[in-house]
Structures are given as C-alpha cells and as structure tokens.
Amino acid sequence: MSRMLSQQRAAFALQKIQGFSDPARNRSNERKQEKMSTHLHKTPIRILSNGLGQALAFLLSDNGGEIGVKRKESGQLYDWLQDWLCGEADENQPCRVYPSGDLITQLMAGDRRAYLRAQEETLLLFDWLTKFADAYLGKGE
C-alpha cells in the first residue's frame, strides 16, 4: 500500500531534520541548529514575498554563492530543496518538478507552470520542515 503524498513529504522532512539534529548538542551544534531553524522559518516568508527564485538566490548567496558546497546551513537547505524537486520522480518523491540538474538553473530555464508548481511544492514541504524543526531543533529567531 502506498503512502499519501503528505506522508511522503513528512517522511522526507523528518529524515532531513533528524539527520541534521545532533542529540549530543554541544554549543557549536546548538548554534548550527538555531541557524537552520531560522532559515527554515524565514525562507517560506521570503518565497511568499519575493518568489522561489529570489529565495533560492538568497540561500546560495548566504552559502558563498557555491552550488553543491555545504559550507553553511543555507547550503544544506538548498540541497534539501534540490533533492525534493529535482531528479526522476519515484515512489518516495513523486513531486519532483525538474528532471535533474541544479535547482536554480532548472527553475530559471523552465516555464511559468513548472516554476509555480515548484514554488507550491516547496511551500508544502516547508510546512513539514518547520514543524519538525520546532520539535527537533528549537524555534528559529
């Protein structure tokens, strides 16, 4: 029996948040978790205010402008969104909008319909990411 789409989003979000959280919680990890939580709470606002493209550009800029390099929490979050939205659709991730490649590149090259679909899917995923962030990482600023 297959899972509902909302369950698949929740499972993906839970996996990412649990993989990021660290039960040892030393001071350095606490600060990283706070930063991630802040990004998780502020990014949906950025998407609603300015659109998905500009929100992704902010994450990339905050990460030093490097794609695929996870120097900061913003780069990690960008990678999570790319993982959810790009690649071949499968049983666990049926809502992939773009076939493969870098998310920002695909977003800019795609049509309006794909852009809006990616934005909607991202906001739905953030519903789960922020809930699990509150549970496992603590509330963002």
Q: Is residue 141 part of a domain?
A: no
Q: Is the pLDDT of residue 96 over 50?
A: yes
Determine phi and psi for 112, rounding to 5 degrees: -60, -40
Q: Is residue 58 part of a domain?
A: yes
**Sequence-ordered alpha helix ranges (H) in the chain:** 5-20, 27-50, 52-62, 73-85, 103-109, 112-136
CATH number at residue 44: 1.10.520.30
pLDDT tens-digit map of 47-74: 999 999 999 999 999 998 766 666 799 9
Q: Which domain holds residue 13?
A: 5-136
Q: Is residue 13 part of a domain?
A: yes
In a 3-state reduction of DSSP, which class is residue 105? helix
Cβ neighbours, 10 Å, residue 17: 24
Mean pLDDT (the chain) is: 88
Residue 121 and residue 19: Cα distance in Å, rounded? Answer: 21
Domains in the chain: how many in total?
A: 1
Q: Cα–Cα distances in Å, from 18 out to 9, 96, 118, 136?
A: 14, 22, 24, 7
Q: Is residue 37 part of a domain?
A: yes
Cβ neighbours, 10 Å, residue 1: 2
Q: Is residue 46 part of a domain?
A: yes
pLDDT tens-digit map of 9-27: 999 999 999 988 866 555 5
